[in-house]
């Protein structure tokens, strides 16, 4: 009897956990595919674009609380351009060229409004 209850509780947990998974959303925009990924609670986790199934253009990552954690740029699947990574209360600016990190700087201030 205990085994049946244990199995039932396990299956209930698995079904509940699976039901809470939020599927990503894909939509066409100006020749690109916009992708939006979600946390289990429904909050946006990441938004970005694909071109020919490769990461392309701007990608923005968010914390579960909705704060921006990373702004990244890609060009046909390669890291390319300025990236901004929020670390605690500071912003790091990383510069990539053809997938190679060429520069890291700390941005003065904590506002992302200029990006």
The model's pLDDT over 63-107, given as tens digits with 9 standing for 90+, comes to: 999 999 999 999 999 999 999 999 887 899 999 999 999 999 998
User: What is d(CA 63, CA 58) in angstroms, rounded to the nearest whole number?
Assistant: 17
Can you state the percent helix, strand and coil of the chain, rounding each to 5?
A: 15, 55, 30
Global confidence as pTM: 0.77
**Cα four-point dihedral sign 86, 87, 91, 97:** negative
Question: Do residues 73 and 85 make contact, with C-beta atoms less than 8 angstroms apart?
Answer: no
The model's pLDDT over 8-65, given as tens digits with 9 standing for 90+, comes to: 444 444 444 444 579 999 999 999 999 999 999 999 999 999 999 999 999 999 999 9
Question: Do residues 5 and 25 make contact, with C-beta atoms less than 8 angstroms apart?
Answer: no
pLDDT for 9 equals 41
Domain edges within the chain: 23-107
């Amino acid at each position: 009897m205990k085994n049946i209850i244990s199995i039932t509780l396990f299956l209930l947990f698995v079904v509940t956990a699976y039901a809470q998974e939020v599927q990503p959303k894909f939509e066409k925009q100006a020749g690109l595919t916009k992708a939006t990924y979600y946390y289990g609670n429904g909050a946006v986790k990441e938004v970005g674009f694909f071109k020919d199934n490769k990461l392309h253009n701007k990608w923005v990552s968010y914390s579960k609380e909705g704060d921006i954690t990373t702004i990244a740029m890609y060009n046909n699947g390669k890291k390319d351009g300025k990236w901004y990574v929020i670390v605690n209360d500071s912003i790091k600016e990383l510069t990539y060229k053809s997938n190679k990190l060429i520069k890291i700087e700390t941005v003065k201030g904590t506002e992302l409004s200029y990006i």
